[in-house]
Every structure is written in structure tokens, then in C-alpha cells.
Structure 1
Amino acid sequence: MGFFKNQFANVVEWEEFREDMIFWKWSNREIKKGSKLIIRPGQDAIFVNNGKIEGIFKDDGEYNIDSDIIPFLSTLKGFKFGFNSGMRVEVLFVNTKEFTVKWGTQNPVLIPTPQLPGGMPIRANGTFTFQVTDYVTLIDKIAGIRNSYLVEDVKIRITSVLDQLLMKWISREGKDMFNLQANASDIAKGIREDLDMEVLNNGISITGFQVMSFNYPKEIQDMITKTASHEMIGNLQKYQQVSMTDGIASGKVKGGGVAGDMAGMMMGMNLAGEMMKNMNQNQNQSSSGNSSANPGSPAQGSGQKPNFCPNCGAKNEGANFCPNCGQKLV
């Protein structure tokens, strides 16, 4: 007799659970007397009748529907099971966890920049997180016409507008187009706010958005790396001169005919000129330093014999002419 009484009883549970499934709908079946509801951790069960939420149950466990559930339903609390009648409602199971999704631009985003007339082609990648926050909107906009909803569905919608948002916020917050990572936090914050508005009408909230890296074309990345290494040297012109000199000395830089020889000669003349200029400056500084340090020492042309020859620097023992080069000393 007991078997006959409960032969139509069923179990209402999330039968097709997947980690990447946002919700799943138990529908088109009657709930008979003696049926049970099973809610697992991380799930909410929502009873829906004619598109209206009758009750939301969040505590995991096993419940008798006729005694534990029906008394709490808004308009069906007075429902009585008959001998051959059941309650036809939909039960929507919602995954309550926060989902993390990786994203990446499929094509380069052309960011307007004065340095490149066609725009700077930039790729980017990162992650975003989202969570269901509004069950009423979720049922009204999505669950009313679908039996399930996947993370991939949200990702497709997000990536469809992501290129435009990247262009918008990189142009606004990318103060240094060649070092966007320094402004990644501000760029990501702006994109998150816009994405949240994009999916809000689906009952979903974007809880986080991160830009892990910006990627430039190889030619531009090589230029950035080279410029950074030069800046680390401190003096770009000096670095180029030293690099060329080392290359010639080591034989790595070889002449290329007349043009190469002329370039080498001009570079040698420039380097020699710089060396003479530095030597003259050092001599002038030394002479002025000696004069200020020995204000009482005799100057040339005063009638007194200098201690050292001004021409060759040989020491003078009081002679009128330098014993080394013959320079007149008085």
C-alpha cells in the first residue's frame, strides 16, 4: 500500500550539474506527493510558477516537498496533493559561486596615437570574475527562455564588447602608450564598471576585472627594449660612441668601401676633437687652480725666472734659457 501511495514520487535535484554551468532548470514534470528536493552546497533552488518566483531555498540538504517546501511557497502554500494530481512548477537551480574566466583579444586593438598614423596595434589578456546577484532579472531575461546557461555564454557576450572598451580606456588612461602596464589598474577599473553595466540587465554582476599584460608588435617591443637599455646607460650619445669604438677595435664593425672609410674617419676626428677639448678644459682648470692657490708666485713676463719651462715643462735652475728646449725664460 505504501508503495502504491508513493509510486509517482520523484526527486527534484540538479541532474546535469557542471562546474561551468550557471543555472539549470528542472521543468515540464509534475511534483507528486512524497517527492523530495535535494540542494547541494553552492546551489540555490528557486520554485517558479507561471514565470513568478514562489520561493527561494538556499540551505543545502534534503527536504520533503509536501511538508518542508509547499508551506513556504507564496501562492501555492495551500496546495493539496490529490490521488492522481501533482504540482506542476519549475525549479531553477542556480550555481552561487563566483566564476573566474580568462580572456584575451583575438585580434590586435588599434589604439590611436600620434606616433603611428594607423594606430598602435595592441593585444591584451587577463581574467574577469562574475556572479549571479539578481534572480528576478535572471529569470525574466534568460531563464524564461532557456533551460541552462553556461560560463561560455557570458564570456561570448563580454568579449563581443571588450575590444571597444579596451580602446576607450587605454586612450583615456594610457598616459604612456609604450608603458601601459603602469596604468593597467586604472584601465581595468574603468572596463569593469562598463562591463558590469553591460551584464547587469541579465542579473549578473562583474565582481572583478584584471589586465595581466599588454602585448605590442615585435618591432615595437624590440624598440621599447632597446630604448630602455639605452636609458639605463644614462647618456645615449656616449653609449653609441663607445659601442662604435668597441666595434671597430674588436673588428666587428668593418669598413664598407669609401663610404665606410669616410664614416670611420669622421668618427675618429670627432672623437679626437672631443679628447682635445677635454684636455684643454682640464689644463685651463689646472692653471686657474694653481693661480688661485699661489697668488704670490711670479707670472710670466714679470722679469723673474720661472721655476719650470712653460714650453716643455723642464725644471729651471735659474738660467735665462731652458736647458732642454732653449726657450727664453726672461
Structure 2
Amino acid sequence: MSIFGGQMRSVIEWKDPSPDVLIWRWDGSGDELKNASKLLVNPGQAAIFVYEGQVQAVHDFSGLFELRTANIPFWTTISKFMQGFESEHKANIFFIRVTEFLNQKWGTKAPIKYDDPKYKFPVGLRAFGNFSFHITNVRKFFTEIASTRSIFNIAEIRNIIVDRLLTPLTDLFAESGYGYSEIDKKRVELSKALQDTLAEIFVPLGFELTDFRIENTDFDEDTKKRIDRISDKMADAQAIRALGEVDPASMRNYATVEQLGALHQAANNPGGTAGVGVGLGAGMGLGQTMTSMFNTPAGFTGGRQIPCTKCQNSIDETAKFCPQCGTPNSRNQMVACVSCKKSIPANTKFCPECGGPQTAKCSSCKADLTQGAKFCPHCGGSNS
């Protein structure tokens, strides 16, 4: 009740604070402030004395204080300013909540736009999550954020936080190096990185995020269509890779054709130059990825692929043995020419050195010998 009601309140306090209110201005008159006998600051609150729009004192510990006998700097400052005051509108007491505010929901109202760092196509992405925060510097927060309004709601600080995280969030996705398919499994890492970045923005304003989480992401329709096209091309690439016997050069040519196809599709896109940019980025990114895949087909170690003479698995031409069945690679074995004794590849019909046929006969029984045989399997005679 005001002074005009016949009596004045003697206790300065925030009665029944709403859970949605962060800062509340005490509604007592100037005379009530001058004649108050007690100050009650509940746990999780702080009191602020403002004179002529400037913060003059902050009381940030809880308790019930007898103002006539207690020697507290907060009340000493108030008493000094209130001596001979002329207008009750010059002085105000504000209460502010300094507890931690948990699980505040946030989300991007519209998709954020950036270029996928791996596949080089435009991405539209919505992100959602929650954060927790608390006031770390009452004076700074009141001065920089809240000003002297009679009520400052939690929803207002939530909007400020969301508005100021959009640019760092966009930069984070663009610079992280993670493609669209990796974002979900990297959410914890991305959340921590963004929380660290936001600390540089919010701490100077008097508050900090004690927790920040990206809980879900959702691509816009245009991005989903691009992802579907890339998935189809990747499936084709995997099918070709599974063949195993396709020459790597042919595979790289296939990747080049796919890049050109993306460019052609973009050029015919009604979106004009924007469509060309999309095609170019996606085509180049996809082509590079497919080329990388084609350069390392299953079982490939660096040379031309040939089939194993036994199990038909694709093996490197220079391999000595098949990695699947252990059969020696006959194309990589060397034997002596039956005529000039020079070292030549096994199964050669004519010697590349002397031109002699590689059909040998036993010098004793004249039976046909296999190439490189040192003893006759019929009579046991030496043929070295």
C-alpha cells in the first residue's frame, strides 16, 4: 500500500516472483524506500539500486536485513542518495534472479544457408535444441541488456540468445569440414564448439551459457532433393566398385562423365545462374568423391587388376600370390628360356630374347616337359 493509503510498507522484497520473470522493479514509493526498515532478498535473487538511470549498488547475497542496525554497503549507498531527494522517480529498487535457468528451448525460425564443405552444394538447414544459462555479472547484465524496464521476462533473453547464435552457427557448419551425412553423429562436438564461441559474445554482457545442445537438424526440401541425387550417384559408384575388374582409368572417366552430367543438368535448370552454381558445386564434389573411390577398388594396391587363375578374384598384376586363395600369380613368375636360359615370364610361348619356342623335351626320353622343369616327370632325367 502506498503512503496515501495511511501506512507504508516497511519491507523491501519481491513477493511471489513469477517463474517467467527475470527482473522485477519494486513498486514502492520514494517515501517507502526512505522509511523502509528491512530488506528481504530470497535465495537465488539479487537486489539492485538504480538512481537517475544508473546502477549505484548491487546486493547479491540472500537474507533478511535490518536496515536501521545492519551495516551493509547496499543500504548505506541508498541512504546517501535518498537524503533530500526531490522526485521519487529518480530512485528504484530492482530484483533479479541469479539462479541457473535450465533447458531453454531454441530453434532457427528459417533454414540457415551455407555450402556443404564436402560436396560443395548449397544447404538449407534448420537446427533445434536447448540451452541453460545464468547471470554472472548483475551490474553488466542490467546495464547492457535489461535497462530500467519494470519487468524483463526470460523469453526476452531467450530471443536475444537465439538471434545472436545464428551467424556463429552458420559459420560453424560451413567451416567444420563435415558433410551433410556427418552432422547428426557430430552434434555433441559441434554443440561444444558453438558454446565456446558464444561465450565470447555473452560473457561481456553479464551472463553465460552453462550448457548448449544441438538436439535435432532438418534439411529443407531443396537440400533433400540434392541429397537424394547424390545418394543415387553414390549407389551407382558402389555398384561399379563392387565389380572389381573395371580398369581404374575407366572408373575415373565415369566420374568425369557424372560431373559433366551434373553441369548439364544445372545448365538446363530453370533456376538460371543459381542452378548452374548448384550443379557445379555438387558435380565437382561428387566427382572428387567418386574418383577417390575408384582409385581404391576392392583388393587394389596400385597396379592393373587381373583375375586369379584359380578363384577369379581380382588381384594386382604385380602380386605374387592371390590374397584370397593363395594361388601363385603365374603372370608374375619368371622361368629360364629352354634355349638361351634367359629369365622370362612363365607361360611365355616364345622367348623375347632369342625367339626360341618354349616347348621343351626331355634329353633322355624325349617326353614333353612343362616350362622351367629341371627334371623329367617320366624318366627322372636332369634337364638343367
Q: TM-score scaled by structure 1?
A: 0.58
Q: Which residue of 2 aligns with 1:3?
A: none
Change in CA separation of 1:67 and 1:32 when aligned onto 2, cut-off 3 Å: same
**C-alpha contact (below 8 Å) 2:145/2:205 kept by paired residues:** yes
Gapped regions of structure 2 (runs ≥ 5): 1-5, 245-305, 313-320, 322-326, 331-358, 370-384
1:64 to 63, 66, 70: 66
**C-alpha contact (below 8 Å) 2:21/2:151 kept by paired residues:** yes
Separation in 1 of the partners of 2:69 and 2:89?
Answer: 13
**C-alpha contact (below 8 Å) 1:35/1:65 kept by paired residues:** yes
Could you tell me how far 1:95 is from its partner in structure 2?
0.9
For residue 25 of structure 1, what is the amino acid of its counterpart?
A: R
Q: Which stretch of structure 1 is more off in the superposition, 222-231 or 68-77? A: 222-231
Residue 21 of structure 1 pairs with residue 24 of structure 2: no
Partner SS state of residue 9, structure 1: coil
Q: Percent identity?
A: 23
Structure of higher CA gyration radius:
1
For residue 38 of structure 1, what is the amino acid of its counterpart?
A: L
Q: How does 1:233-244 map to 2 (within 5 A)?
A: 236-237=239-240
Q: Which residue of 1 aligns with 2:12?
A: 12
- Which whole-Å deviations, capped at 9, do the CAs of 1:53-81 have from their partners, x for residues lacking one? 2341412x333333337675343457999
For residue 41 of structure 1, what is the amino acid of its counterpart?
A: P
**C-alpha contact (below 8 Å) 1:127/1:212 kept by paired residues:** yes
1:48 to 47, 50, 63: 50
Change in CA separation of 1:226 and 1:95 when aligned onto 2, cut-off 3 Å: farther
Q: Which residue of 2 aligns with 1:98?
A: 100
Separation in 2 of the partners of 1:52 and 1:305?
Answer: 110
- Which whole-Å deviations, capped at 9, do the CAs of 1:208-255 have from their partners, x for residues lacking one? 322223333544666788899999xxx6447699xxxxxxxxxxxxxx
For residue 111 of structure 2, what is the amino acid of its counterpart?
A: P
2:216 to 210, 213, 216: 213
Q: TM-score scaled by structure 2?
A: 0.51
Separation in 2 of the partners of 1:126 and 1:14?
Answer: 32
Change in CA separation of 1:220 and 1:20 when aligned onto 2, cut-off 3 Å: farther
- Which whole-Å deviations, capped at 9, do the CAs of 1:146-178 have from their partners, x for residues lacking one? 122222112212222333222211122234443
- Which whole-Å deviations, capped at 9, do the CAs of 1:9-62 have from their partners, x for residues lacking one? 343222351223222121452236464332222112233333232341412x33
Could you tell me how far 1:110 is from its partner in structure 2?
1.9
**C-alpha contact (below 8 Å) 2:119/2:179 kept by paired residues:** no
Q: Which residue of 1 aligns with 2:262?
A: none
Q: How does 1:88-167 map to 2 (within 5 A)?
A: 89-100=91-102, 101-113=104-116, 119-167=122-170
For residue 120 of structure 1, what is the amino acid of its counterpart?
A: V
RMSD: 4.8
Q: How does 1:153-232 map to 2 (within 5 A)?
A: 153-216=156-219, 217-219=223-225
Could you tell me how far 1:182 is from its partner in structure 2?
4.8
For residue 160 of structure 2, what is the amino acid of its counterpart?
A: R
Q: Which residue of 2 aligns with 1:75?
A: 77
Separation in 1 of the partners of 2:368 and 2:82?
Answer: 133
Change in CA separation of 1:177 and 1:282 when aligned onto 2, cut-off 3 Å: closer
Partner SS state of residue 73, structure 1: helix
Change in CA separation of 1:228 and 1:134 when aligned onto 2, cut-off 3 Å: farther
Change in CA separation of 1:198 and 1:178 when aligned onto 2, cut-off 3 Å: same
Change in CA separation of 1:31 and 1:161 when aligned onto 2, cut-off 3 Å: closer
Separation in 1 of the partners of 2:147 and 2:198?
Answer: 23
Change in CA separation of 1:286 and 1:81 when aligned onto 2, cut-off 3 Å: closer
- Which whole-Å deviations, capped at 9, do the CAs of 1:258-307 have from their partners, x for residues lacking one? xxxxxxxxxxxxxxxxxxx968544995997xxxxxxxxxx99655599x
For residue 20 of structure 1, what is the amino acid of its counterpart?
A: D
State the structure with bigger RCO (CA 8 A, min sep 6), 1 or 2. 1
- Which whole-Å deviations, capped at 9, do the CAs of 1:188-220 have from their partners, x for residues lacking one? 344334433433453222333222233335446
